[in-house]
Amino acid sequence: MRSITICFIAVFLSTIFNLPARAEESDVNDKHWGIGVQGNYPLLGGISVRYYGLSPVYLQAVGRFIMDGDERDNMFGGGVSYAVFEYAGYGMTRLYFSLEGGERYEKDRRYFWNEKTQRDEWRMYTKETYGFGLVFGTEFAFPFLGTQIGFNAEIGQGYGRIDEDSETKDIASFIVGGGVHVYF
């Protein structure tokens, strides 16, 4: 079992350190900015802005702000990606590792059972989720009406904390995400 782990680590490190030369060779068609929607489980998502001008390192910020009276559902996250492989042909194919993190704040009114009065009653409910993780992703971008449209998918491992009213718990979960962006 130990030799399998060592082989996996060796393949992983050789991929990270040897393939970036191909990423630098590719042509990103001078499209350095992307805007679109990006989401993942468990933090969900929102409007996304990507910057590709530091190839093979890419930056991304995702956020949303929803407010309805006293109720809220806000999220802000960011990530730094490192492309291990890029291929520019008719479109662009990119394989990358990304370190991502974010925070989600939820506040709404919910029914709770009150033991003293033996009735349901409305009460404000708050939940904060913090998380970060390492993901592996792929993106396919192709020309469309003078610009590029890219579709991406990600999977990885994340860790975080949930603060729910007065209860706190640490979590570990799979990260599954995806998005679509228009590049200019």
For residue 28, pLDDT over 50 is answered with no
Average pLDDT score over residue span 14-21: 46
For residue 83, pLDDT over 90 is answered with yes
Question: Tokens 């030369």 correspond to what residue?
Answer: 21
* Residue 16, pLDDT score: 45
Higher pLDDT, 84 or 12: 84
Handedness of CA 97, 5, 21, 140 (dihedral sign): negative
Phi, psi of 21 (to 5 degrees): -60, -40
Q: Which domain holds residue 179?
A: 2-183
* Listed residue (52, 60, 61) closest to 29, CA to CA: 52
104: CATH: 2.40.160
Number of domains comprising the chain: 1
Interval 114-161: pLDDT, tens: 777 787 777 788 899 999 999 999 999 999 888 889 999 999 999 999
